[in-house]
Amino acid sequence: MIQTLRLGHATIETPDLQKSLDYFVGISGFVLAEKQGDRAFLTTKIGQLALILVKSDRADCTRLAFEVAADTDFAAAQNFLASQGIKSEMRGDPFPGTPKALTFTDPKGTVIELYANWSFLTVNQGVAGIGPLKIGHIAFFTPDVKGICDFYQRVLGFRVSDWIGDFFVFMRCNSDHHTLNFFAGKRTHLHHLAMELKDMSHMQQSCEVLGAARIPLGWGPMRHGPGHNMATYHRNPDEHVIEHYIELDQMKSEALGYFEPRPWHIDRPQRPKVWEPHKWVSGWGLPPVPGFLGERD
């Protein structure tokens, strides 16, 4: 097993690169570090690579990059992947600030890039727009939720944090309640992209920025059941659902097996579990507008 430690960045394909740049830089508040033809590299305000935007004829998330431990033996990792029937390739200079990455494809067709060493791409700076702390988690529709859940546990060391029924799984690779979600759907495509904010004042600021740009919320502010994070949701120009969140549950100790106690938890203590469908939506707050989180045709 290869133990992933952090979601580093995601590659988002878009039919209109400039419109996506206007949104992710002007509204979301990421920093354009570099542009290479039809690819743009965006960092957080402290300089960590967070998004790679690629001009394409479709709009979807096609690659995920995860950080592994600095002493990871990539040759051993390749041998392990081969033992699982997974072809992989070592790439040099795969993206700015990263000397090498081990790449392979997961069962649903998303390219996975594993790296251990990296450098900041921009200086710590104030930014216009919202300015998230990081890309916190990414959710996909997929026809085989249980199969992809098993793959990420068996190959990349993820743990299951919660299920909603048998159709929506929350998975973690570090203390965050979830880094990946998989939701039953007819085909594989992005469900939502989530960005962590600092606190409630930052969430209010994000709503003011969206309001000034005439971008309506489709859901929130509200507090979830699984993960118990406070969240808002809206759509970007490519019609991707974007989540802003704070106060996500933390699994501080795998040995203890429960999430860091918080006053808003539904269970005491809050342990991983299967949540009953139709009762999971939120601890408080209005439901999403009709059809907002449904699968796109």
Distance of alpha carbon 218 from alpha carbon 196, whole angstroms: 18
The whole-number pLDDT of residue 205 equals 96
**Do strands 241-246 and 189-196 pair parallel, antiparallel, or not at all (unpaired)?**
parallel
Q: Is the predicted pLDDT of residue 143 greater than 90, yes or no?
A: yes
- Quote the CA–CA distance of 228 and 20 in Å, as a whole number: 30
Q: What is the DSSP string of 125-152?
A: ---SS---SEEEEEEEEES-HHHHHHHH
pLDDT interval class at 295 (50, 70, 90): confident
Residue 155 to residues 19, 39, 51, 77, 100, Cα–Cα distance (Å): 36, 29, 24, 10, 20
Nearest one of 272, 265, 209, 264 to 242, comparing CA atoms: 209
Question: 245-265, pLDDT tens digit by residue?
Answer: 999 999 999 999 999 999 999
Cβ-based neighbours of 196, under 8 Å, separated by 6 or more: 132, 133, 134, 135, 136, 245, 246, 248
For residues 115-140, average pLDDT = 91
Whether pLDDT at 125 is above 90: no
Output the average pLDDT for the chain.
95
Tell me the pairing of strands 31-36 and 134-142: unpaired
Question: Does the pLDDT of residue 71 top 70, yes or no?
Answer: yes
Q: How far apart are CA 253 and CA 153, in angstroms?
A: 18
Q: How far apart are CA 150 and CA 199, in angstroms?
A: 34
Residue partners of 49: CB distance under 8 A and separation at least 6: 8, 9, 33, 41, 42, 43, 95, 96, 97, 98, 118, 121
Q: Region 78-93: what's the mean pLDDT?
A: 96
Global pTM reads 0.93
- The predicted-structure confidence for 169-228, as pLDDT tens digits, reads as follows 999 999 999 999 999 999 999 999 999 999 999 999 999 999 999 999 999 999 999 999
Q: Which residue type does 286 have?
A: L
Q: Which residue ranges form the domains of the chain, and what is each CATH number? A: 4-115 (3.10.180.10), 134-275 (3.10.180.10)
What pLDDT does 278 receive?
75
Residue 152 has a pLDDT of 98
pLDDT at 72: 96
pLDDT at position 122 is 84
Per-residue pLDDT, 294: 79
Distance CA 102, CA 97 (A): 15
Report the pLDDT value the prediction gives residue 297, as an integer from 0 to 100: 63
At residue 252's C-alpha, the angle toward residues 274 and 10, to 5°, is: 75
